[in-house]
Amino acid sequence: MSNRNETKMVVDKKNYIDPDWLLEIRQEAKALFKDIGFPNSRHETWKYLNLDQDLDLERHIKKTPIRRTERDECVSVLFKNNTPECESILANKNDLIITNFRSAYAEHKELIKSSLSKGLLQNPFSYLNTAQFDDGALILVKEGCKVEGPIIIDLQTHVEEERLKGIHTRTLIVLEKGASATVFVQHHSFLDKPEFVNDYFDIVLKEEATLEFILTQEGDQPYRFETIKASIDTKANLNYVSFVNDCLVTRHDMGVDFIGEKAVVNLAGIALLSSESQYFNHLYIDHKVGNCDCSQVFKTILRDKSLSEFSGLVVVAKHAHGTNSTQSNPNLLLSDNARALSRPQLRIDADDVECAHGATMGQLNPEEVFYLESRGLNKSAARALLTFGFAEDIIQRIKQPLIQHECDLILREGLSSYDKHR
C-alpha cells in the first residue's frame, strides 16, 4: 500500500459533503424515482410483488451464519450497512485499486460519474439507490492485470441506533482491457429488525476483460433487491452465477449491454425457495452489436407455498447479426402449492440470429429416479440426490475453486432437509 494513497483515503466523515456534480445526479435520480413512484402491482414488471403486503416481517428474520473459507489469498470489501470500509482493506497497488468513492471522486471522477449517470436500469430501485447511497466501493482492475484470488464483497447489515431508511449499497467494478478477476458477493445479517436492502452493482468490462461474478444470498432481510448492470465490450467475457438460498423476498434486476462484438456472457442461477419465499428474477439482455454469445440458465427449486417469477427479455438490434442468445428456466416444483411463473421473451430485429428459449415446470424425471433406484438407492435418497444434482449443475459453473467449494457446502446444507420431504 503506497503512502500516497493512504493519506488520500482519510475522509472526514462528519464534514463530508458530496461534490456538486454528484448532488445534481442525485437530484435527477430522485426526480426519476418520483416519476415512476413506488412500484405496485399495476406496473407490469411488478405485478406479482405486492410491496404493501401485510407480511409479518419480524417473524422472518433469520440471521445468516458466518461463513469462512481459507481466505488468505483474497482481498475483501466490507460494507457495514451503507458504508464500505475500504480504509482497512485497501489493496491499492498499481494494478488493482479498491477504494471507496469518496476517496476516489477526485482521481476517478469520470469513471464514477459516468457509472452513476449512465449505468442505470429503468427500475425505480436503481434510481432510489443513486439518490440515496451513502458511499460506494470502486474496484478497478488495470489493463492486463490478472487478479489471482477472489475479491470478496461482504455486505453486512448491523443494528444502528437510529432506524435506517433502507440500506443502499453501491459498487462499481471496472476491468480494463485484458484484465481478469473473480468477484464474490455475500451477505451477512446481524439485524433483529427487518430492513429493506437495495444493492447496486455496476460492471464495466472493457475489451478482452474476463470477470467471474458470483452473487450469493442467504436467510436474510425480508426484502432484498439486487440490481446488476453490465456493459460488455469487444471479446470480453462474463461468467455470472447467482445463488439464492431461501430469502423471504428477493428481486434481481439484471441488465446486460453488448457494446462490442465477439463477447461471451454466461448467466446462470439457482434459487432454493421454501415456506412463503418469493423470488423475482428479471433480465434484460440488449444485443446492440452482433456476433456475441449469451446464455441464460436460471433454475429454481420450489417447496411449500413459495413463488418464483422469471422474466427475461432478449433484444437483438437490427444490425446485430450473428447473435447467439439462449435462455432457459427450468423449475422444479416439489409442492402442489408452489408456483413458478415464467416469461421468456425475444425481440429480434436482425436476421442470421440464433435464439432459443424455454421454460420447464415440473417434477423430477421418473427415468432418472428409476436409474438411481435400480442401483440400490431408495426412492427418497434418489429424489434427494437428483434435486441436489439439479442445483449443483449451476454451482459447477463457478470456475473459481474456493468459491465453488463454498457454494457447494451451502447447497448441501440447504438441501439437507429435503430428503424427508415428499
Binding window for another protein (CB under 8 A); candidates: 32-40, 139-147, 173-181, 377-385: 377-385
- Give min distance, CB of 199 to another protein, in A: 28
- Helices 366-373 & 379-395 angle (0-180, nearest 10): 120
Closest to another protein by CB, 163 or 376: 376
Q: Which stretch binds another protein (CB under 8 A): 105-113, 249-257, 336-344, 386-394?
A: 386-394
For residue 362, the minimal CB distance to another protein (Å) is 15
* Helix, strand, coil % in the chain, rounded to nearest 5: 25, 40, 40
| Nearest distance from C-beta of residue 321 to another protein, angstroms | 30
Is residue 347 close enough to count as binding another protein by CB under 8 A? no
| Contact flag: residue 36 with another protein (CB under 8 A) | no
**Residue 419 engages another protein in binding (rule: CB under 8 A):** no
Which one of residues 37, 144, 362, 389 is an interface residue with another protein (CB under 8 A)? Answer: 389
Closest by alpha carbon to 97, among 84, 83, 109, 86?
A: 86
CA-CA distances (angstroms) from residue 373 to 378, 382, 386? 6, 6, 11
User: Which of residues 77 and 364 has its CB atom nearest to another protein in the complex?
Assistant: 364
Residue 160 near another protein by CB under 8 A: no
Within a 13 Å sphere around the CA of 137, how many CA atoms are in the beta-carbon half?
A: 32
Minimum CB separation of residue 408 from another protein in Å reads 10
Tell me: does residue 360 bind another protein (CB under 8 A): no
Is 241 a binding residue for another protein by CB under 8 A? The answer is: no
Shortest reach from residue 240's CB to another protein, in Å: 18
Q: How many residues of this chain bind another protein (CB under 8 A)?
A: 28
In sequence order, the β-bridge partners of residue 84 are 79
Residue 254 β-bridge partners: 228, 283
Closest CB to another protein among 127 and 390?
A: 390
User: Can you tell me the distance from the alpha carbon of 193 to that of 360, in angstroms, rounded to the nearest whole number?
Assistant: 37
Stretch that binds another protein, among 79-87, 99-107, 201-209, 366-374 (CB under 8 A): 366-374
Q: What is the residue type of 70? A: E
Beta bridge partners of 253: 227, 282
Which stretch, 115-123, 148-156, 191-199, 385-393, contacts another protein (CB under 8 A)?
385-393
Q: Which stretch binds another protein (CB under 8 A): 113-121, 135-143, 343-351, 365-373?
A: 365-373
The answer for residues whose C-beta is within 8 angstroms of residue 122's C-beta and 6 or more apart is: none
CB of 346 to another protein, least distance (A): 25
Q: Which of 80, 78, 419, 409 is nearest to 245 (CA)?
A: 409
Nearest alpha carbon to residue 257 among 274, 236, 275: 236
* 191 binds another protein, rule: CB under 8 A: no
CB of 219 to another protein, least distance (A): 23
* Residue indicated by cell numbers 475483501: 76
365 makes contact with another protein (CB under 8 A)? yes
Classify residue 302 by burial, with Cβ atoms within 10 Å: 0-12, 13-18, 19+: buried
Query: Which one, 129 or 216, has the nearer CB to another protein?
Result: 216
Query: Judged by CB under 8 A, which stretch of 78-86, 151-159, 331-339, 363-371 contacts another protein?
Result: 363-371
Residues 302 and 331 sit within 8 Å (Cβ to Cβ):
yes
**C-alpha angle 212/171/311, rounded to 5°?**
65
Using rule CB under 8 A, residue 396 touches another protein:
yes
Q: Is 391 in the site for another protein (CB under 8 A)?
A: yes
Residues 23, 31, 381, 409: which binds another protein (CB under 8 A)? 381
Q: How far is CA 372 from CA 178, 365, 383, 384, in A?
A: 45, 11, 9, 11
* Least distance (Å) between residue 271 CB and another protein: 15
Residue reference for cell 454469445 = 293
| Smallest gap from residue 375 Cβ to another protein (A) | 4
**Shortest CB 394 distance to another protein, Å:** 8
Strand order in the sheet with 339-348: 96-100, 136-141, 167-175, 196-205, 223-232, 249-258, 278-287, 307-316, 339-348
Asked if residue 38 binds another protein (CB under 8 A), the reply is: no
* Residues near another protein, by CB under 8 A: 365-379, 381-382, 385-386, 388-396
